[in-house]
Structure 1
Amino acid sequence: MKIEVVHNHQCELGEGPVWDAQEEVIFWVDILQGEIHHYSLQRKQHKTYAVNEMVGCIALCNDGNFILASKSGIGFLNRATGEIEYVENPESHLPENRFNDGKCDAVGRLWVGSMSLLETPNAGSVYVFENNRSTLKIKKTTISNGMAWSADNKIYYFIDTPTATVVAYDFDLNTGSISNKRVVIAIDEKEGYPDGMTIDQEGMLWIAHWGGWQVTRWDPNTGELLYRIKLPAAKITSCTFGGTQLNDLFITSAKADLTDEELKNQPLAGSLFVIKNCGYQGVPAFKFNR
């Protein structure tokens, strides 16, 4: 299995890859540098949008622009001008918090989690944002990360990284309500901590392992580890499927807080990797309904 570097740019904390099928572009963020990265596979062209503060996640909107969640809250970035308009911050009273990972569901609502800048336990929450308003969904999280939905939209999967688990909730697509929380995957400490996550067409979950040098594939119905891909960087942060057939796996990584010795041993840390024709197919990313 050939692991390639998509572009020679290396992020401090690469995260949240999003595939734009229409333009054949992969987007990802550098949380610590406050940047959104854009790479066109057809044109071999790399672009950067400056957010100028910590940006946790982005999603494409149905008008072609971005919705983003950053230190200042939730807003929209105009891709033509680079201008950002913030519209909501449910945690404006919590200046020590920032937003982290997030994704849109099948009707175009943004689900996004917050966390303490100091990673204080239970200081974060998960919100749903629609119609310029956010609603609290999950309380007392620490580092909100991976999210995914089953193909029938009846299950919402979620990772709070320090718990080393994936939990599932019963999900109502019409109302956005969640219930019946249960652990479906438990990850051993020696594997690294679960971070970002995506789902494939067979309903299996792909998890990036922070400190684990790998991406893994799991069956959420049985909790069984099915497959692992070892990578040339320790801090693997997230993954998503892309390419014309959605069978290329894009993987983000980080180099933040690595020692000089560690950087010497993993010179590709912070890169965006791709495994082309990885043998599995993903599902298209949902867009924000603006």
Structure 2
Amino acid sequence: MAAEGATIFSDVVCELGEGPAYDPATGKLFWFDIVGKKLLEKKFPDGPTIVHDLPVMGSAIATIDAERQLLVAEDGLYVRDIKTGRLTLHTALEADNPLNRSNDARVHPSGSFWIGTMAKDEGSPAGAIYWFSRGEIRRLYDKITVPNSICFSPGGATAYFTGKRPNIIHRVDCDPSTGFPIGEPNVFVDSKDADGWVDGSVVDADGALWNARWGGARVDAYSPAGQLVRSIPVPAQQSSCPAFVGPDASRIAVTSAWKGKDAAARAIDPEAGKTFLLDIEVRGRFEPNVQI
């Protein structure tokens, strides 16, 4: 492999690339351009990038079974027919609030789904984090500004998330059998003095948390104790969210964005919005199917 860094996985440019999720059954990575209302897919490692138009802003996706996916969107959760792309509303979520949209989400090892919402203008703590399982939705946390870093320890006993305080990754104990939190969150990582912002995260098989650093052009790895142990540069300033990919989950893909950049800023960040593969190998793991 090359020196530590990243190479381009898909050169399709997203204004706000987010929500990557890998399906090991098909070998495909799915991700979103939230602002552009697009769902993208590409077979690992070198298939073509296929772009699907969406009628709504989508931000996250999970596998239900071989025929269906669950797509998280600004007004609810949609069942997506993989063969046809047809969307059917399954469960409404903040559908009466056009000022909000969905953002980060991830499947707990139990098959439940944690889903974050936020103000579209990012200017107020108007969002929330929800728990979803088998048609039931419960609000876990309110007054969330930008929900990110939703991910779980391998056994499901710990959840991580951001959005309550700037640049703080919180951790909270969970019931491994349901994914429901137990007790109050506490600080896992306080990175308010570092450049950029914590964005999406995944946890590997050893319990290390890999976080995309928006504005920091890198992916940072933290030990289960919250210590920074590794940083991998990414050739786009606004790296947004990682996902484990490949037949053995040994690689990390990371999305990025050009959102908020004018022409001059984009000229000095020419790879912004593309999707990358980190040039390292890791002990990753696949997410379970979501239970609807």
For the criterion TM > 0.5, the same-fold answer is: yes
For this pair of structures, how many residues does the alignment match?
Answer: 288
Inter-partner Cα distance in structure 2 for 1:48 and 1:33: 11
Inter-partner Cα distance in structure 2 for 1:152 and 1:131: 20
Inter-partner Cα distance in structure 1 for 2:213 and 2:177: 32
Instruction: Kindly provide the amino acid, as one letter, of the partner of residue 201 in structure 1.
Output: A
User: What SS is found at the alignment partner of 2:240?
Assistant: strand
Select the residue among 278, 287, 290 that pairs with 1:288. 290
Instruction: Kindly provide the amino acid, as one letter, of the partner of residue 217 in structure 1.
Output: A
Select the residue among 177, 193, 202 that pairs with 1:198. 202
**1:144 alignment counterpart:** 147
- Deviation of residue 180 (structure 1)? 2.5
- Deviation of residue 245 (structure 1)? 2.3
RMSD value, Cα: 1.7
Over residues 36-57 of structure 1, what are the superposed CA-to-partner deviations in whole Å (9 max), with x where a residue is unaligned?
1110136622212221221121
**2:171 alignment counterpart:** 168
- Deviation of residue 227 (structure 1)? 0.7
Choose 265-274 or 149-158, whichever is displaced more: 149-158
Inter-partner Cα distance in structure 1 for 2:67 and 2:283: 24
User: What SS is found at the alignment partner of 1:262?
Assistant: helix
* Residues 52/161 of structure 1: CA separation in 2 closer, same or farther (3 Å cut): farther
Q: Would the aligned equivalents of 1:205 and 1:217 in 2 still touch at CA under 8 Å? A: yes
* Deviation beyond 4 Å, 4+ runs, structure 1: none
**1:94 alignment counterpart:** 97
- Aligned pairs (5 A) from 1:4-43: 4-41=7-44
- Deviation of residue 161 (structure 1)? 7.7
Q: Would the aligned equivalents of 1:158 and 1:167 in 2 still touch at CA under 8 Å? A: yes
- Deviation of residue 170 (structure 1)? 0.9
Instruction: Kindly provide the amino acid, as one letter, of the partner of residue 186 in structure 1.
Output: D
1:184 aligns with 2:188: yes
Inter-partner Cα distance in structure 2 for 1:229 and 1:262: 22
User: What SS is found at the alignment partner of 2:151?
Assistant: strand
Select the residue among 245, 248, 264 that pairs with 2:248. 245
* Residues 134/195 of structure 1: CA separation in 2 closer, same or farther (3 Å cut): same
Q: Which segments of 5 or more consecutive residues in structure 1 lack a partner in the other structure? A: none
Inter-partner Cα distance in structure 2 for 1:35 and 1:148: 23
Instruction: Kindly provide the amino acid, as one letter, of the partner of residue 198 in structure 1.
Output: V
**1:53 alignment counterpart:** 56
> Normalising by the residue count of structure 1, what TM-score does the alignment of the two structures yield?
0.94
Q: Would the aligned equivalents of 1:161 and 1:193 in 2 still touch at CA under 8 Å? A: no
User: What SS is found at the alignment partner of 2:32?
Assistant: strand
- Aligned pairs (5 A) from 1:123-138: 123-138=126-141
Inter-partner Cα distance in structure 1 for 2:56 and 2:238: 21
Select the residue among 60, 79, 83 that pairs with 1:80. 83
- Deviation of residue 90 (structure 1)? 3.2
Inter-partner Cα distance in structure 1 for 2:202 and 2:234: 17
- Aligned pairs (5 A) from 1:223-262: 223-262=226-265
Q: Would the aligned equivalents of 1:33 and 1:53 in 2 still touch at CA under 8 Å? A: no
- Deviation of residue 215 (structure 1)? 0.7
Inter-partner Cα distance in structure 1 for 2:236 and 2:200: 15
Inter-partner Cα distance in structure 2 for 1:183 and 1:42: 36
Instruction: Kindly provide the amino acid, as one letter, of the partner of residue 119 in structure 1.
Output: E
Q: Would the aligned equivalents of 1:96 and 1:116 in 2 still touch at CA under 8 Å? A: yes
Instruction: Kindly provide the amino acid, as one letter, of the partner of residue 117 in structure 2.
Output: S
Inter-partner Cα distance in structure 1 for 2:165 and 2:262: 22
Over residues 211-235 of structure 1, what are the superposed CA-to-partner deviations in whole Å (9 max), with x where a residue is unaligned?
11111001231x2111111121111
Over residues 188-218 of structure 1, what are the superposed CA-to-partner deviations in whole Å (9 max), with x where a residue is unaligned?
3432100100011210100011111111001
Among the aligned pairs, what percent are the same residue?
25
- Deviation of residue 160 (structure 1)? 1.8
User: What SS is found at the alignment partner of 1:261?
Assistant: helix
Inter-partner Cα distance in structure 2 for 1:230 and 1:42: 20
